[in-house]
């Protein structure tokens, strides 16, 4: 059974509502190690991102963690179907809210981007498996350092094939939902489009240098450096936008037992 390190990075945008919210949970349930990370972005900066992260947190605490523990991980059908229902309900509630608000604001000018879907990327890790869900312009990278030549693979986002599908509200883009095995020594990075566009493959590999990655503090430092470097590299048109990222690392066996370090 695996163990995890988790970290997140958030650089607020110029406005009071930057439209980016993060969710990060880590712990155990019935002796099953769990990690849950999400990055949500509302193009309208109207609070939809915070609604999604709040509802996903409720789902995880009430249903997701327990279903993973009962099923010995994230590969059970019950976990996937429960998440699909939760995502569908969230979309429907957002759509209902926007419909009501559009009626109240008729003639006053609609808020820019208010009709766009909430962009969501997330991963639930339990035991040796993962459950991935994604929609929108954010990217998800798998960083594998188990071999002599570390490699980075984009597993969700722009120019990637959508494998699997999940719940969504009527007229909204479907979620990509898929399950798999997360090998020890592998990291999964979820990041907003504004951060992804300023990352290089070498920067991602450096963030996951497993030989020297032993503690939570080290991971926090590396992800913070990665985010700040992306901010520096950002073009003038991108500056002022909110940046967000979350990283989940499945520890190699030799690194087990040394996760604290705070």
Residue 161 has pLDDT above 70, yes or no: no
Q: What is the mean pLDDT of residues 171-175?
A: 69
- Provide φ and ψ at 24, rounded to 5°: -145, 120
**Amino acid 102: pLDDT:** 65
**Amino acid 261: pLDDT:** 42
Distance, C-alpha 209 to centroid of its chain: 21
User: What are the boundaries of each domain within the chain?
Assistant: 4-101+113-255
Question: Of 248, 246, 237, which is closest to residue 187 (Cα–Cα)?
Answer: 248
Taking all residues of the chain, what is their mean pLDDT, rounded to a whole number? 81
Q: Which are the contacts of 54, defined by CB distance < 8 A and separation ≥ 6?
A: none
Where does the pLDDT of residue 148 fall: very low under 50, low under 70, confident under 90, or very high at 90 and above?
Answer: low
| Calpha distance 169→138 (Å, rounded) | 19
The dihedral built from the CA positions of residue 79, 84, 85 and 89, taken in this order, carries a sign that is positive
Render pLDDT for 192-204 as a digit per residue (tens, 0 to 9): 988 888 888 888 8
Residue with tokens 């997140």: 8
**What's the start-to-end Cα distance of the chain, in Å?**
24
Where does the pLDDT of residue 62 fall: very low under 50, low under 70, confident under 90, or very high at 90 and above?
Answer: very high
Q: For the domain made up of 4-101+113-255, give the CATH fold.
A: Phosphatase 2c; domain 1 (3.60.40)
Q: Is 227 helix (H, G, I), strand (E, B) or coil?
A: helix
**Which of 73-82, 159-168, 169-178, 234-243 has the weakest average pLDDT?**
159-168
Q: Which are the contacts of 191, defined by CB distance < 8 A and separation ≥ 6?
A: 39, 121, 138, 139, 140, 141, 199, 244, 245, 246
The token pair at 139 is: 């990217």
Render pLDDT for 76-132 as a digit per residue (tens, 0 to 9): 889 999 999 999 999 899 888 777 766 655 444 444 444 468 899 999 999 888 999
The token pair at 6 is: 């988790």
| Calpha distance 229→223 (Å, rounded) | 10
Helix segments in 18-161, DSSP class H:
48-59, 65-70, 77-104
Question: Of 92, 7, 110, which is closest to residue 48 (Cα–Cα)?
Answer: 92
pTM: 0.84
């Amino acid at each position: 059974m695996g163990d995890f390190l988790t970290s997140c990075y958030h650089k607020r945008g110029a406005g009071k509502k930057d439209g980016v919210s993060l969710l990060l949970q880590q712990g155990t349930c019935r002796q099953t190690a769990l990690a849950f990370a999400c990055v949500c972005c509302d193009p309208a900066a109207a609070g939809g991102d915070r609604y999604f992260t709040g509802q996903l947190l409720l789902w995880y605490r009430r249903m997701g963690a327990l279903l993973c523990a009962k099923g010995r991980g994230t590969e059970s059908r019950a976990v996937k179907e429960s998440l699909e229902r939760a995502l569908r309900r969230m979309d429907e509630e957002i759509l209902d809210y926007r419909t009501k608000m559009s009626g109240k604001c008729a003639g006053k000018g609609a808020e820019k981007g208010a009709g766009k879907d909430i962009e969501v990327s997330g991963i639930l890790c339990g035991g040796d498996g993962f459950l991935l869900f994604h929609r929108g312009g954010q990217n998800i990278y798998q960083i594998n350092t188990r071999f002599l030549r570390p490699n980075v693979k984009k597993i969700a986002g722009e120019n990637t094939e959508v494998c699997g599908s999940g719940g969504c509200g009527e007229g909204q883009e479907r979620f990509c939902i898929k399950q798999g095995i997360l090998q020890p020594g592998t990291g999964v990075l979820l990041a907003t489009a504004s951060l992804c566009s300023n990352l290089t493959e070498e920067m991602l590999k450096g963030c996951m240098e497993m030989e020297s990655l032993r503690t939570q503090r080290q991971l926090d430092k590396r992800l913070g450096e990665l985010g700040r470097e992306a901010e520096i590299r950002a073009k003038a048109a991108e500056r002022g936008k909110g940046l967000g990222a979350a990283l989940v690392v499945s520890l190699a066996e030799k690194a087990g037992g040394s996760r604290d370090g705070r």
